[in-house]
Chains A and B, each alone.
Chain A
Amino acid sequence: MEFLSDLKDQVSTAYELLAAGWGVQLLWGIGWTLAVTVVSMLIGAVLGSLVAAAKLSYRGGLRFIGESYTTVFRGEPELLIIYLFYYGGTQVLTGVARSTGSIGSTDILNMPSFLGGVLAVGIISGAYQAEVFRGSFLAIHRGELEAARAYGMSAWLRFRLVIMPQVLRLAVPGLGNVWQLTIKDSALISVTGVAELMLTANKAARSTHHSLLFYTVAGILYLVMTSISTPIFEKAERYTSRSFTRPK
């Protein structure tokens, strides 16, 4: 019973606090979380396709670089990578700015927190996307590549007409998983001070002393984001594979 009355109090204060401005703040937080996730996914897509190409290369050196990239960035704690880019970026920027004399010898030039966070999460996302792209490439029927070669297609034409359309189609389910991972990783860049959902919930919890409420709301909002993306990716999968569906 004590539990129930507690819960009732929480619910009634919840409405007041959310209406008093924290609700709008949290919505902005969602906006930033989505911005971080989308930009990270794009960075990851560029890096991921390059790394996948390196891993599939016949040159040993390139394969080694690709392997090391995916091993390191999937094997390190996300938090460490984020700190490395944020604080490490600050270290580098400060060093450069001090030596060129654009800031005083005791001043510090901070890494922009959005840039640092997005780079870190994007690079992690790239490691997972590389594996997705590599898997999709390997799933392309060998005969199609041989046929394209037999037609005398150049490497670029083969890539554009045979490889890319199929990799994109086969990669959709895997990319859906990486998208979910990236949403969850984006919560970690709250440690660098990007005002995304996690940091907003943190601020609200600290200043109102209603941590249960705000972390629960944040948790629910993350659940909404991850569960909304599932049907979207399913739709994308149906769209990209529409010519492969069996006739009813």
Chain B
Amino acid sequence: MDFDFYLSTMWSVLKALPLTLEIWFFGIAFGLVIATGLTWLRASGHKFGEYFTRAYVFVFRGSPLLVQLYLIYFGLSQFDFVRHSPILWPILRDPMYCTIVAMALNTAAYESEIFRGALRAVPVGQIEAAKAFGMSAFTRFRLVTLPIALRLALPAYSTEIILMTKATALASVVTIMEMMGTAQKIQHDTFRPIEVLTCAGVIYLLLNLSIARLFAWVEYRLSPHLRPPPEQGQQVKLVPEVL
């Protein structure tokens, strides 16, 4: 066992963690914005909105993210108007931005379906009660529909976020030196792929496990009403078991 090698590899891969997190964060953030738009379009009840979102979800869920990434990075520059555009070109010639765009568009398709399901799962009785109270549409959404839907969407959303962490590794195929790209480079230099990839794998796994824990904790905090009541005389646990 060559501990120095493991340590130095671990350290080099860890130094690329901020870049991975940057891709991850912006991919998720923009994805969330697009997904919100899509969900709104779908829920608005317009025929056009429904067809558009259906087509969007079909295309982005039905094809591999790698194809979408290549299409955005290599494909779109084929258009002259893209290359001459002062706004599009600086984004689409940069592999980093392209990865973020591809990830955001891709995750938005999955997330919009999650949100749609969550909105539909809000009990009708709650909405009727809110209407009976004379709440305006906005208040109803803000105080009743949204909080319930968000809580219902959380488990599926956390799965999607973990899929996104895994997807950041694809940035390495378009030359970004994030964790996977760095691991690839070390592996080619040393020809010790098993050791190097194991180091990277440990970091990815720890990252995903902590994300999963974090979401489990948020879910626990947001659903106190679903927990069994404490037995008579039992101490109420202040720290949830999920942590």
Query: Do A and B make up one complex?
Result: yes
Using CB atoms and an 8 Å cutoff, list the residues of chain A in contact with chain B.
2-3, 6, 10, 71-72, 75-80, 83-84, 87-88, 90-92, 180, 183-185, 187-188, 190-191, 198, 201-202, 205, 210-213, 215-216, 218-219, 222-223, 226-227
Contact A84 B66 (CB under 8 A): no
CB pair A80–B201 under 8 Å, yes or no, is yes
State the Cβ distance, A124 to closest chain B Cβ, in Å.
10
Alpha-carbon distance between A124 and B68 when the two chains are bound, in angstroms: 21
In angstroms, Cα B85 to Cα A6, docked, is 15
Listed residue (B68, B191, B201, B205) with the most chain A CB atoms within 10 angstroms of its CB: B201
Closest beta carbon of chain B to A98's beta carbon, Å: 12
Candidates A83, A90, A187, A216; contact of B71 at CB < 8 Å: A216
A-B contact pairs, 27 of them (CB 8 A): A3-B79, A6-B80, A6-B81, A72-B201, A75-B208, A77-B204, A78-B166, A80-B169, A80-B180, A83-B187, A83-B197, A84-B193, A84-B201, A87-B187, A87-B197, A91-B192, A92-B194, A191-B173, A211-B74, A211-B78, A212-B75, A212-B76, A213-B78, A222-B63, A222-B67, A223-B63, A227-B62
A70 to B60, CA, bound (A): 26
B177 shortest CB reach to chain A, Å: 14
Chain A residue numbers with a CB within 8 Å of B191 are 91
Kindly state the separation between the CA atoms of A73 and B192 in the bound complex, as whole angstroms: 21
Q: Which chain A residue shows the least CB distance to B73?
A: A211
Report yes or no: B68 in contact with A219, Cβ–Cβ below 8 A: yes
The CA-CA distance from A210 to B183 in the complex, in Å, is 31
Which residues of chain B have C-beta atoms less than 8 A from A10's C-beta? 78
Indicate if the CB atoms of B169 and A219 lie closer than 8 Å: no
Shortest CB-to-CB span from B197 to chain A, Å, is 5
- A contact patch SS: helix
Cα–Cα, bound, A201→B67 (Å): 9
Q: Does B156 contact A (CB under 8 A)?
A: no
Q: Bound complex: CA of A227 vs CA of B208, how far in Å?
A: 30
CA of A202 to CA of B74 in the docked complex: distance in angstroms?
A: 10
> Beyond the given A87-B197, A211-B74, A223-B58, could you list 16 further A-B residue pairs with CB under 8 A, ordered by the A residue number?
A76-B205, A77-B169, A78-B166, A80-B197, A83-B197, A84-B193, A84-B198, A88-B194, A183-B64, A205-B74, A211-B77, A212-B71, A215-B74, A226-B61, A226-B62, A227-B62
Inter-subunit contact A212/B79 (CB<8 Å): yes
B184 and chain A: residue at smallest CB distance: A83
B174 to chain A, nearest CB (A): 12
Which of B68, B76, B197, B205 has a CB less than 8 Å from the CB of A75? B205
Are A219 and B71 in contact (CB-based, < 8 A)?
Answer: yes
Q: Which residue of A lies closest to B65 (CB)?
A: A184
